[in-house]
Structures are given as C-alpha cells and as structure tokens.
Chain A
C-alpha cells in the first residue's frame, strides 16, 4: 500500500512537470505565431492543458474540489475559443475575405 501511494506520487510529479513544460512550449507558439489563427490555436491548446493540469493536481493533492474547477474552466475556455474564432471570421468578412490578416501585419 505504501509503495503504491509512493508510485502514484512519483507519477503525479512527472505528470505535473510534463504539463508545465507543455504549457511553456505552447506559450512559445503563442508568442512567435506568424498568424492570428496560430495564436488562437495556441490559446485553445493552453486552456485544454490547464484543464488537464487541474485534473492532475486534483489527484496529486487529493483535493476533490479541483475537479469542479477543471469542469468550469473547460466550459469557460470553450466559450472563449468560440468567441475568438467568430471575431476573427467576422473581421475577415468585413474586409472582404481576400487578404491574410496576419501577413498584412507583417508586411
């Protein structure tokens, strides 16, 4: 029993480190993304990773209420992603849908 809980603790530490590295790596893409769509995809991935982080933290700290936080965060992040995608699509439609907005910023 003691060895199993120790194994669970080590697995939780490895998982939390992996998730932190994943959030940092996708933050790099959020910064250097050449287009606005890249940044929206990176934000979506970061919010999904934060949901996974909260679930792993709920196992690691044995605190059940983190799971409710994770579910609520998943709901809110879905709404945020949908709002960003609709905003970008409407902006492109008002400009005629021809030009690439991100490359327009670059040039």
Chain B
C-alpha cells in the first residue's frame, strides 16, 4: 500500500510541475488557463488520493475524498469566472487563433442591462 502511495504522490507532483511549466511557456492567457486549472486540479486530486491511501482510516480518508470532491467542484467555477473576466476585458489572443465563437457575447458598451447577474 505504501508503494501505491508513493506512485500516486509522484504522479501528482509530476502533474503539478507540468502545470507550472505550461503556465510559463504557453502563449496566451486562455491557453495558460488550460494548463493551470486542469493539471493543477488533477495533481492536487492525486495528492489527496495518496493521502487517503496512506492513512487508510475512515475519518481521514473520507476527509481526503471530500477535499477531492471540493476541488473538482470549485476548480471549474473559478476557471469560468477568470476566463469570462479575461475574455470580456479583451485580453490579447494568440496570433494563430482561428475561431472566436464568443466575439459577440459581452457587448457592455451598448447598455447597462447586463447588470443583473452580479
């Protein structure tokens, strides 16, 4: 069981490291969010799985599983909020971006009728 813990912990560390490398080297804010949110949440989830498989008690492992569920619930919400804020403030997109399907979505300059979602 300690071998499984070691493998899960190493995989989590490698995923977290790859997330930060993608954070440094990707060319665009939106593309960087791809690396940061997905690989970061996966790395932390693997680390909590290693924690659950290391202690193997009911209370500790249940708390670790609850932490994984919380991470998987909150990471998309935070990523969605950051992505909407970044896109709607006209962040610079990558030069080779071909399709921009949201280019009509946030027209704040036409009126203040979008205030109701705050």
Contact = CB atoms under 8 A, between A and B. Distances in A.
Contacts, number: 205
Interface of A is mostly: helix
Nearest to B12: A52
- Using C-beta atoms within 8 Å of the partner chain, give the interface range for chain B: 35 or more
A26 B51 CA distance: 24
Which of B9, B43, B50, B74 has the most CB atoms of chain A within a 10 A radius of its CB? B9
Nearest to B19: A45
A80 to B, nearest CB: 9
Contacts of A93: 108, 114
A8 to B, nearest CB: 5
A102 to B, nearest CB: 7
A89 B20 contact: no
Contacts of A68: 63
B13 A14 contact: yes
Interface of A: 4-5, 7-8, 10-12, 14-16, 18-19, 21-23, 25-26, 28-29, 34-35, 37-38, 40-42, 44-45, 48-49, 51-52, 55-56, 58-59, 64, 67-68, 70-71, 74-75, 78, 81-82, 85-86, 88-90, 92-93, 96-103
